[in-house]
Amino acid sequence: MLKRVALMESISSNLNDFLKKITNNLPLPDKKFIRDSLIGLIRCGKPIVCQMARHLPNQRTKFLSRLDRLEAHLVKNSSFDNKIKAELPHTWLPFIKDDTPIILDLSDIAKPLAKKMDYIATVRDGSSGQLVNGYWLVELYASLSRKNPVPLLLEPFSHEEPCSPGQNPIVLNAIHKIFELTGNHGVLVIDRGFDSRVMFDDWLDNHFRFVARLVGNRNLTVVYEGSGQTVIRADSLAEQVPSPHRFHKLVKRRGKPTIRITQIGWTKVRLPEREEELTMVVSRLPGVDKPMMLLTNLAVEDFDDAEKVLRLYIRRWECEEAIRFLKNQVNLEKIRTFSWNAICRLVLLAVLVMTYLGWLVETAPSICDRLVYLSQPLPDKPEFILYRLKAGLTEAVNTCFWRYKDLLRLSLQENP
């Protein structure tokens, strides 16, 4: 039996602890803004300012006053964002281990009908594949535990922004920022879109460990004992690499469990004009003509090492689930504002919602179980728990607001 009053108290106390961590160096008005806007976003599920204002905890003031207060905080020029981002790593840094996958990806905020939003640019819509107006998103997630990607960095950028350095410098700067915070702990996991010599040179120069999927047209240097070295395309080399090792995994296909058998092989390679020893891990699936090629600077000496590299890359898919969660549950693409400052801050609020859920999974599993129960889940075990946690959290905050108003207001009040 779910004790609702005890759950409301636990959620209020837990949310208060999270807000204290991320608002430690903020003045009182900014603390109130973070508290109110975060609860408003959780309750309405959309980063639309007028709807967030209707769901604020403080209903004693008029709606227009609440709306003006939110808009004023969203558009003002201040160091508010930087202060939040400086405190946010304290919530996830304790969980970063030496082998934690740090997943890099690019996504988009598609606004096909927008014309007057600041720095609106042309992006490729990930859902339709068409070129539309919108903004790019650089994303970095840490896969702390199974199916729990926590956003380490998620920031919009636009090529139309004044003094924009371009995509590669923005992505590299984001990677440097995260690995500086983690002390080079974690393994960077990337897809084929980042198969670039600029990227590989930077990661090797800075001693970042990585697992990258290759497109296949990259030249690699193979060193043969006693016979010198040769340069060969990655896809041609993959055809020559034997894959005698096998492992199987139970996956669901159309709702039915299926055993998937994977063959693995590997070979030592180098990038042309570089001396670092790398490994290309080749994975083959039955019925698939082209093998998957992974380039890594992790040590690969036996089958266990190669399997570890492959499993690290498989966890890259969690970033796709993460951005889908943000677009479906927080409605990230429904931002309606002209100001660039407001766009960045609404994205930051969406990140705070997901960060709080990921932090909850790692620090308070008992509360997570009760929230999943409160969300009235289906009988089967969830593949991606954040959807049910978000539904349970929304229900809990709504119940706390309507039935225990004083509890929510008092538990989230600022410390003097």
Q: What is the DSSP string of 308-342?
A: HHHHHHHGGGHHHHHHHHHHHHS-GGG---S-HHH
| β-pair partners for 294 | 213, 281
Residue 412 has pLDDT above 60, yes or no: no
Q: What is the per-residue pLDDT for 406?
A: 47
Question: Which pLDDT tens digit goes with each residue over 38-53?
Answer: 988 998 999 999 999 8
Diameter over CA atoms, the chain: 82
The pTM for the full model equals 0.90
Question: Exposure of 355 by Cβ count < 10 A (0-12 exposed, 13-18 middle, 19+ buried)?
Answer: buried
| β-pair partners for 149 | 143
Q: Does the domain at residues 90-320 carry the CATH identifier 3.90.350.10?
A: yes
pLDDT band at 15 (very low <50, low <70, confident <90, very high): confident
Look at 72-76, 151-155, 175-179, 228-232 and tell me which has the smallest mean pLDDT: 228-232
Could you state, in order of their start, the residue ranges of all structural domains in the chain?
4-87+364-411, 90-320
Residue 234 has pLDDT above 70, yes or no: yes
Give the C-alpha separation, 100 to 126, whole Å: 27
Average pLDDT over residues 206-233: 88
Q: What is the per-residue pLDDT for 369?
A: 84
Give the C-alpha separation, 92 to 355, whole Å: 8
Q: What is the per-residue pLDDT for 58?
A: 67
Residue 405 has pLDDT above 60, yes or no: no
Torsion region of 315: left, alpha or beta (phi above 0 gives left; psi -120 to 50 gives alpha): alpha
Average pLDDT over residues 281-303: 90
- Whether 270 contacts 221, CB under 8 Å: yes
- Whether 237 contacts 291, CB under 8 Å: no
